[in-house]
Structure 1
Amino acid sequence: MKTIVFIGSYKSGTSKEALMIAKEMGYYVVLCTDKAKYMTSHPDFLEVDQFVFIEDLLNEQQMVKEITKLMEKGKQICACLSFIDPYVSYAARLSKHFEIAKISVDSLGVMENKIAIREKLKDLPMTPFYTIFHPDDSIKKFGKENKSLFPFIIKPPISNGSKDVLFVETIEKLVSALTFLQEKHPNNPLLIEEFLHGPQYLVEILVYNKEIKFLALVEQEVLYNGRFIVTGYKFPGEVGEDEYRSLKGCISSILEQTGLSNGSCHMEMKLVQGKWKLIEVNPRMAGGAMNRIIEEGTGINLLKEILKVHLGEEPILPEKKKNYVYARYLTINSRGKLLKITGKELALKHDGVKYVHIKPHAGRLITAPYSMGNRYACVIAVSEAAEQAKAIALKATKEIKFYLEPF
């Protein structure tokens, strides 16, 4: 039985959608998880044929043992992959171990570490100024030596969804941020980068046999609250011809330097005074509703084509339509126990609204946003004009109401 093994999944977003697509493609779907509750929550994972519980998903010896068991029971393992950090390169390494498909293991591994990727790309012009704070460095001394650099960004080398990415503009905030991150990530170096001013874009990329098969530009709207929370996505991101040509050149240079010949990734870029600067690289498709955004805009199911690359097949990416798409994510400004969320059906009735997702269930504690995980609803609208798509989505979001019990 042809089987795809997934390592880790959330209950919604890209990782969950990948399970559904694999099932639609006719594969037996195995989910390796460290969440025992998933195995008893089948209504949330109807597309999963078999769960494999592993307490530590990064226990490679145990993972190899479990996949071998599957093979011994007649499962033909066709792909092993993950859309969740830090399992992306790990899954690619397992694919290599079982000789499944030629995915760029080393390249994906470098992309998973924010310090490693900066060091790899340090000589490229799109790399902004950065430095590294080591565990044994003096916070006060570092602050005095680098006070001319304010403002800047501090982040741990392994993170996702804007977790623990902090904006610092004074020595006092620097001391506070470094102390906080050192306590949360003990004995780890921290990446410090210059803060760049300019519009921010997400670039989805799929590479097959060293050729860029797909490149999608999405403009991001970012909420700056001491963290960096993306609340809006405009597709396609609109830039001039020269800027787009320059962007493709930057992407090619980055891919060549990292050695990505088979696989997918997304990059976050800023356009700073007409020059592209790299914010970060992630070795997987962006999470949330990114696949839906691209499919509504182009007709291309990018996740399906990514799965095909992991299966050793050439992706086929004909653009079937051209729409403007706007996705709006909702956050809240308070903290409390969720009683209910209303308005989903009303939001869906707005002409042009294609998708409304409500994330949390009643009873959950929800808060103001500290990471992308604190975005609690999403509305996607489509139109023939970019501003109209945005206006539709924003109007529809007003239907959605959060009812909280203060906590």
Structure 2
Amino acid sequence: MLKDTSYTPYYTTEIIPDLYSHLPIVVKCPHSNGSKDVLLARSPKEIDDHIQYFSRKYPGETILFEDYIGGQQYLVEVLVHGGEPRTIAIVEQTITFEHRFIVTAYRIRPSIAPAFKAMVSEMVHTVVDRTGMVTGALHIEFKVSKGKFKIIEVNPRISGSSMNRMIHFAFGINLVEETLKSQLGIEPDTERKTERHVYTQYLTVQEKGILQKVTGRNAARRVPGVVEVYVKPRVGAILQPAVSMGHRYAYVIGVGNTEDEAEHAAKTGAGRITFHITPKADIT
């Protein structure tokens, strides 16, 4: 639907010699999720290795090859009601690349430059018009590279994990509730009640092992500006370095009157939390 727009990077599902002229290139399985099957190839050998990996893991499935786009990554949360899209939040993402592309932090600023907002609005309207969406939530992940917007993916739902809470703390909007009202034919209330800077820091681990305990949650909650601390795994769970978004094991949300205040609160709180694990080598 979007292949003839300026938002779509070069892509192909064909294994052709031209692939090797597009390095670095991203190799994906379109039916996967959570970043676990989004691989970066920097050389012809890595392209071939990734093709073999996907052919073994998903025999007969399509493999997607796509230009790697540099630049800052964002997402925009949108609610479509009566065919008209409403931009709820524009969120800056921090991507950490070790084993996979993992989003390890999010930032919401109350104020966005008018020119940037206009470019986001144009992209959102293009997606909604091309897909024919009439009612529902969606989010678009995109990168800004050399002044141009390039779409990474579009999902017909609100972002998962902490996104609804982040929007609530930033603007006083419960996007899940307003989406449900829209689905029921009720006019959603998307007016901002507050305007605060929000920063969310996620935690991952560096080694595989069995979780013995988690310390520092209460200390994190006591940090000024921290409004929410969430730890997902229970004692006895097997933790591992992040190869998918599901391997983010906790988050801390900080708010502030400035972006530095919000970031400092979230990072300070996250620094108080420790996962105590028995390393894999010690597991019998």
**Alignment TM-score, normalising by the size of structure 2:** 0.95
The residue number in structure 1 matching 2:184 is 311
Contact 1:218-1:237 within 8 A present in 2 as well: no
1:387 matched to 2:268? The reply is no
1:228 matched to 2:101? The reply is yes
* Distance across 1 between alignment mates of 2:24 and 2:79: 34
The residue number in structure 2 matching 1:301 is 174
Contact 1:347-1:399 within 8 A present in 2 as well: yes
Name structure 2 gaps, 5 residues minimum: none
Aligned-pair CA distance for 1:237: 7.6
Go from structure 1 to structure 2 and tell me whether the alpha carbon gap of 1:237 and 1:190 turns closer, same or farther (over 3 Å shift).
Answer: farther
Aligned-pair CA distance for 1:238: 6.3
* Distance across 2 between alignment mates of 1:265 and 1:313: 18
SS at 1:397 equivalent: helix
1:123 matched to 2:1? The reply is no
Aligned-pair CA distance for 1:301: 0.5
| Structure with the largest fraction of strand | 2
SS at 2:36 equivalent: coil
Aligned-pair CA distance for 1:145: 3.5
Go from structure 1 to structure 2 and tell me whether the alpha carbon gap of 1:152 and 1:238 turns closer, same or farther (over 3 Å shift).
Answer: farther
The residue number in structure 2 matching 1:332 is 205
* Distance across 2 between alignment mates of 1:229 and 1:238: 26
* Distance across 2 between alignment mates of 1:238 and 1:181: 42
| Alpha-carbon displacement from aligned partner over 1:302-356 (angstroms, at most 9, x marks no partner) | 1100111222222111210000000000011111111111110000000110000
Specify the code of the residue in structure 1 equivalent to 2:59.
P
Aligned-pair CA distance for 1:389: 0.6
* Distance across 2 between alignment mates of 1:239 and 1:276: 16
SS at 1:146 equivalent: helix
* Distance across 2 between alignment mates of 1:275 and 1:263: 27
Equivalence map 1:26-37=2 (5 Å):
none
Go from structure 1 to structure 2 and tell me whether the alpha carbon gap of 1:320 and 1:239 turns closer, same or farther (over 3 Å shift).
Answer: closer
* Distance across 2 between alignment mates of 1:319 and 1:235: 13
Aligned-pair CA distance for 1:363: 0.7
| Alpha-carbon displacement from aligned partner over 1:28-66 (angstroms, at most 9, x marks no partner) | xxxxxxxxxxxxxxxxxxxxxxxxxxxxxxxxxxxxxxx
1:211 matched to 2:211? The reply is no
* Distance across 1 between alignment mates of 2:201 and 2:67: 28
- Deviating runs (4+, > 4 A) in structure 1? none
Aligned-pair CA distance for 1:163: 2.1
SS at 2:13 equivalent: strand
The residue number in structure 2 matching 1:82 is none
Aligned equivalent of 1:356, options 220, 229, 237:
229
Contact 2:110-2:196 within 8 A present in 1 as well: no
The residue number in structure 2 matching 1:261 is 134
Specify the code of the residue in structure 2 equivalent to 1:183.
R
1:283 matched to 2:156? The reply is yes
* Distance across 1 between alignment mates of 2:241 and 2:182: 38
* Distance across 2 between alignment mates of 1:237 and 1:150: 37
Specify the code of the residue in structure 1 equivalent to 2:144.
L
Percent of matched pairs sharing the same residue: 38
Specify the code of the residue in structure 2 equivalent to 1:380.
I
Aligned equivalent of 1:249, options 116, 119, 122:
122
| Structure with the largest fraction of helix | 1
Contact 2:110-2:197 within 8 A present in 1 as well: no
The answer to which structure, 1 or 2, has the higher relative contact order (CA under 8 A, 6+ apart) is: 2
The residue number in structure 1 matching 2:13 is 132
* Distance across 2 between alignment mates of 1:269 and 1:316: 26
| Alpha-carbon displacement from aligned partner over 1:275-322 (angstroms, at most 9, x marks no partner) | 111111011110000000000000001110011122222211121000
* Distance across 1 between alignment mates of 2:257 and 2:32: 36
Specify the code of the residue in structure 2 equivalent to 1:217.
I
Aligned equivalent of 1:398, options 256, 262, 271:
271
Name structure 1 gaps, 5 residues minimum: 1-119
SS at 2:236 equivalent: coil
The residue number in structure 2 matching 1:150 is 23
